[in-house]
Every structure is written in C-alpha cells, then in structure tokens.
Structure 1
Amino acid sequence: MARDQKAKAKKEQLKGKAKESVGRTVGNESMTVEGRAERAKGDARQAKEKTKDAFKH
C-alpha cells in the first residue's frame, strides 16, 4: 500500500511541475498556480509516507 502512495505522490509532483512549467511558458498564471498546488500536494503526500516509514522501523 505504501508503495502505491509513494508512486501517487511522485506522479502528483511530476504532473504539478509540468503544469507549472507550461503555465509559465504560455503566460497562464492560473495554470502555474494549479501546478504549484499539485506539486505541493505531492510533496505533502511524500512527507507523510516518509514519516510513516520512519515510525515503521
């Protein structure tokens, strides 16, 4: 289960980074903000999984 969550976090981070880059390139501030939010969500999910792993061992 944790592996699935880690993969989901990485996917969100990459998707957010791509959306942010495209938004910045085309000058779409809304898309840039969405990308940042998505990347932050992925970062938070990854941090949660790392914390769970730390307490598991």
Structure 2
Amino acid sequence: MAKDQKAKAKKEQAKGKAKEAVGRAVGNERMTTKGRAEQMKGDARQAKEKEKDIFKH
C-alpha cells in the first residue's frame, strides 16, 4: 500500500512539473499555477508516507 502511495506522489509531482513547464512555455498563468498546486499535493503525500515509514521502524 505504501509503495502505491509513494508512486502516486511521484506521479503527481512529475505531472505538476510538466503542467507548470507547459504553462510557462505558452504563457498560461492558470496552467502554471495548477502545475505548482499538483506538485505541492505530491510533496504533501510524499511527506506523509515518509512519516509513516519513520514510525514503522
């Protein structure tokens, strides 16, 4: 289960980076902001999973 969540976090981060880059390239501020938001969502998910790992050991 934790590996699934970690993979989902990485996927969200990568998707967000891509969206942000495309938004910047075409000058779409809304897309850039959505990309940043997705990256932060992925960062939060990853931090949560790391916390769980710490308490497992």
Shorter-chain TM-score bucket reads: over 0.9
Deviations 1:3-53 (A, max 9, x none): 000000000000000000000010000000000000000000000000000
Aligned to 2:46: 46
Identity, in percent, stands at 81
Structure 1 gap ranges (5+) = none
Match of 2:3 in 1: 3
Instruction: Give the letter aligned to residue 29 of structure 2.
Output: E
Runs of 4+ deviating beyond 3 Å: none
| Cα distance in 2 for residues equivalent to 1:16 and 1:33 | 9
* Cα-Cα RMSD: 0.2
What is the correspondence of 1:1-57 to structure 2 with a 5 Å cutoff? 1-57=1-57
| Cα distance between partner residues in 2 of 1:17 and 1:46 | 15
Where does structure 2 lack aligned partners over 5 or more consecutive residues?
A: none
Aligned residues: 57
